[in-house]
Structure 1
Amino acid sequence: MIVVGLVLFGLAALSFALALVNLSILRATPPHAPKGDVLVSILIPARNEAKNIGPALDAALASVGVRVEILVMDDGSTDATPEIVRSYAARDERVRLLTAPPLADGWTGKVHACHHLSEAAKGTNLLFVDADVRLGPRAAARLAGHAQESHAGLVSAVPRQIMRSPGELLTVPTINLLLLGYLPMGFMRLSRDPGLGAACGQLMLVEREAYRASGGHAAIRARIHDGIQLARLFRRKGFMTDLVPGDRLASCRMYTRFDEAWNGFAKNAHEGMATPVALPVWTVLLLGGHVLPFALLPFAPTLPIVAAALLSLATRTLVTMATRENPWSIPLHPFTMLVGLAIQWSVLLRIGTTRHAGWKGRLYPVGAKP
């Protein structure tokens, strides 16, 4: 059991050390104001977003520090989404309502909408934002300024994740823990290796010419996880990508119930962790570093296992405080990691059976190469 404890301690220490280094790198990233004639096109794909689109537009219209235009792509909504956007457009010329053409063969829904938004945009920078994201006043300016200063073709951030229900607390905190606890951000900023590419599709700014040269959303038309896929695409085409702290740039409440969260994370699992090669590795890292120390603690409270449990909780606490997430995620941490792995394995084990994903009620097969 001592050997097992030492292995678990090593796995827990790995994510703790990476989180410390990553947070120091991110917090040392200074804000930059954009220079020159910059126009940020804030692009919002919307399908049945009547509850969200008004607050999203209010937040985007409050942008300061850079000129903005705001384009909303209504993609077959059956609720009041287009009417709400029209009312905003009538009051402010910066807002435009677009109607998505029918979904073309081989495309997924959100990627299709984002592609057509990019074609209509006039900005030097394109800021893709989900309808449930609330931009801070300086978000567009600081993302554009960082892109200029860092010469990155794509800059992304994870908005502050708003979580209130147990179902959210058992799923959503996985996002920031995986990024901060396992992505070596120092290497990410030094290398264009596609394997180090990461982005959050909720909040993602691209430089227009880099987007065009890389192929943009059209090059990932059959994909679902546009954040990670665009970051890897940009790097393959020779453009740098970067991540910045997002907790003060924007906020987002992704889901309100456990079933919504489960389905939401499951829909793009095949493009992330849930592959036959990657998932066993992630299982060792997450189960060993964040679940087994707590499971074994009552039966074998050896020093290495106690230390592993404490380091795991310390990692969760660091990430939670730095990203200003709900602190109730801390005591739920091992259960959150277990649920995250359960989602991934449930998707992987369905390989070879009928599989569908979707966007706002639209279903389509996934997993095909573009």
Structure 2
Amino acid sequence: MTFLSHVALTLAALSALLGALNLLLLRKPAARKLTPGTQVSVLIPARNEEAHIGDAVEAALESVGVPVEIIVMDDGSSDTTPQIVTEIAARDNRVRLVSAPALPAGWTGKVHACHRLSEEARGTHLLFIDADVRLAPDAAALLVAHAQGKGQAMVSGVPRQITRSLGEVLTVPMINFLMLGYLPFIGMRLTRRPSFGAACGQLLMTKREAYRAVGGHGAIRDKLHDGIQLARLFRRNGYRTDLVAGHDLAACRMYRGFAESWEGFIKNAHEGMATPVQLPVWTILLGGGHILPVILLPFAIAGIAPPGTVLAALALSFGLRAAITLRTRERALAIALHPACIAVALSIQWASLLRTSRGRPAGWKGRVYPAE
């Protein structure tokens, strides 16, 4: 038990130290004077988004500090999504509705829609958002100011994640926890190595010239996790990417309930952690640093495991979760549920790996894609 206690403390300390450094480096973009002629194209792929698209477009229209155009790609919707956008476009010429052609073989739906949107865009910068994202009025201006001021070809951030059910709290906050607890921001900022690349597809801005130079979404046409894949693509081609604090720039409720969250995260997990090589390592890092201390607690109380070591591991584990949760303005319930969140996240990853190994296809919004 002493050995396991020291393992738990070491793994918890590693993530806590990296997380503390990342939180110091995570900043909301600062306002800067923009290059003359700057325009942001807000690009929204939409498939059966009648519950969200109106609010998404209206929020984007409130943008200040930079000229914007808003283009919505209706991707085969069977609901009133196109009608809602058409009504808004009739009273504001900054809004355009376009329709996606039939999905070509070898493409995934959202990636194809984003590719087509980029072809329609006129702006110097492309801001890709999901239909359930609500931009803050200064979001577009601050993101482009950061890109221009720091010489970044891509800037992304995680919107404030709105979670209203227990199932959402158990799953969605892991986005910020994994990024801030395990992605070395120092490596991301100081190098162009693809392995340090990460982005959130909910809020992702690119310089149009760089986007087209690397091939944009067309270069990742068969992928589902466009945030990670685009960041790595840019870096492989020598461009710099960055992550900024996105919780004041936008808000998003990405899923409703546990079942939808599970399916949403499992569909593209194989493009991130859920590989035969990476997942065992992640299981040791996450399980050892954040689940093992809880398992050891009864043994520490009974005097079988060293109490000080176990309590220190627990303090570091829960302390990191608390710091990230409070900083990103997520629900405090995620702190109390921290070990359960880790267990669910690992379950999703292992389920995704098992699904892929069996050749079962991934699917989303009525579309099915071959398993890789």
Question: In which range does the TM-score fall when normalised by the shorter chain?
Answer: over 0.9
Provide the C-alpha distance between the structure 2 equivalents of 1:33 and 1:317, rounded to a whole number of angstroms.
35
Residue 339 of structure 2 corresponds to: 334
Detail structure 1 runs of 4+ shifted over 6 Å in the superposition: none
After TM superposition, list the pairs within 5 Å mapping 1:199-238 onto structure 2: 199-238=199-238
Residue 87 of structure 2 corresponds to: 87
- Aligned amino acid, residue 266 of structure 2: A
Provide the C-alpha distance between the structure 2 equivalents of 1:161 and 1:175, rounded to a whole number of angstroms.
9
Q: Which runs of 5+ in 1 are unaligned?
A: none
After TM superposition, list the pairs within 5 Å mapping 1:100-119 onto structure 2: 100-119=100-119
Q: Is the 8 A contact 2:290 2:314 kept in 1?
A: yes
TM-score, reference length from structure 1? 0.97
After TM superposition, list the pairs within 5 Å mapping 1:76-155 onto structure 2: 76-155=76-155
Q: Shift in Å at residue 33 of structure 1?
A: 4.4
Q: Is the 8 A contact 2:29 2:142 kept in 1?
A: no
Deviations along 1:83-124, one digit per CA (max 9) or x if unpaired, are 000000001000000000000010000000000000000010
Q: Secondary structure at the match of 2:363?
A: strand
Q: Is the 8 A contact 2:30 2:145 kept in 1?
A: no
Provide the C-alpha distance between the structure 1 equivalents of 2:47 and 2:371, rounded to a whole number of angstroms.
19
Provide the C-alpha distance between the structure 1 equivalents of 2:28 and 2:95, rounded to a whole number of angstroms.
35
Residue 346 of structure 1 corresponds to: 351
CA shift in 2, pair 1:70/1:266, >3 Å: same
Provide the C-alpha distance between the structure 2 equivalents of 1:27 and 1:270, rounded to a whole number of angstroms.
30
Residue 278 of structure 2 corresponds to: 278
Q: Do structure 1's residue 196 and structure 2's residue 196 form an aligned pair? A: yes
Provide the C-alpha distance between the structure 2 equivalents of 1:34 and 1:14, rounded to a whole number of angstroms.
39
Q: Is the 8 A contact 2:29 2:145 kept in 1?
A: no
Q: Secondary structure at the match of 1:349?
A: helix
CA shift in 2, pair 1:326/1:65, >3 Å: same
Residue 303 of structure 1 corresponds to: 308
Q: Is the 8 A contact 1:33 1:146 kept in 2?
A: no
Q: Shift in Å at residue 353 of structure 1?
A: 1.9
Provide the C-alpha distance between the structure 1 equivalents of 2:188 and 2:159, rounded to a whole number of angstroms.
20
Deviations along 1:205-241, one digit per CA (max 9) or x if unpaired, are 0000000111100000000000000000000001000
TM-score, reference length from structure 2? 0.97
Residue 54 of structure 1 corresponds to: 54
Q: Is the 8 A contact 2:28 2:244 kept in 1?
A: no
Deviations along 1:163-194, one digit per CA (max 9) or x if unpaired, are 11000010011100100001110121000000
Q: Shift in Å at residue 35 of structure 1?
A: 2.6
Q: 2:330 aligns with which of 325, 330, 334?
A: 325
Q: Is the 8 A contact 1:71 1:117 kept in 2?
A: yes
Q: Is the 8 A contact 2:129 2:203 kept in 1?
A: yes
Q: Do structure 1's residue 312 and structure 2's residue 281 form an aligned pair? A: no
Q: Secondary structure at the match of 1:270?
A: helix
Q: Shift in Å at residue 359 of structure 1?
A: 3.3
Deviation larger for 2-11 or 192-201: 2-11
Q: Secondary structure at the match of 1:5?
A: helix
Provide the C-alpha distance between the structure 1 equivalents of 2:290 and 2:31, rounded to a whole number of angstroms.
33
Provide the C-alpha distance between the structure 1 equivalents of 2:266 and 2:344, rounded to a whole number of angstroms.
11
Residue 20 of structure 1 corresponds to: 20
Q: Is the 8 A contact 2:356 2:371 kept in 1?
A: no
Deviation larger for 347-356 or 162-171: 347-356
Provide the C-alpha distance between the structure 2 equivalents of 1:62 and 1:314, rounded to a whole number of angstroms.
37
Provide the C-alpha distance between the structure 2 equivalents of 1:28 and 1:101, rounded to a whole number of angstroms.
37
- Aligned amino acid, residue 211 of structure 1: Y
Provide the C-alpha distance between the structure 2 equivalents of 1:366 and 1:115, rounded to a whole number of angstroms.
22
Q: Is the 8 A contact 1:39 1:125 kept in 2?
A: yes
Deviations along 1:53-106, one digit per CA (max 9) or x if unpaired, are 011011100000000000000000000000000000001000000000000010
What value does the CA root-mean-square deviation take over the aligned residues?
1.1
Q: Which runs of 5+ in 2 are unaligned?
A: 302-306
- Aligned amino acid, residue 296 of structure 2: L
Residue 366 of structure 2 corresponds to: 361
- Aligned amino acid, residue 240 of structure 2: M
Q: Secondary structure at the match of 2:289?
A: helix
Q: Shift in Å at residue 351 of structure 1?
A: 3.2
Q: Shift in Å at residue 350 of structure 1?
A: 2.5
CA shift in 2, pair 1:279/1:31, >3 Å: farther
- Aligned amino acid, residue 132 of structure 1: D
Q: Is the 8 A contact 1:170 1:335 kept in 2?
A: yes
- Aligned amino acid, residue 39 of structure 1: Q
Q: Shift in Å at residue 358 of structure 1?
A: 2.6
Percentage identity across paired residues of the two chains: 61
Q: Is the 8 A contact 1:22 1:185 kept in 2?
A: yes
- Aligned amino acid, residue 9 of structure 1: L
Q: Shift in Å at residue 28 of structure 1?
A: 7.8
Residue 32 of structure 1 corresponds to: 32
Q: Secondary structure at the match of 1:351?
A: helix
- Aligned amino acid, residue 136 of structure 2: G
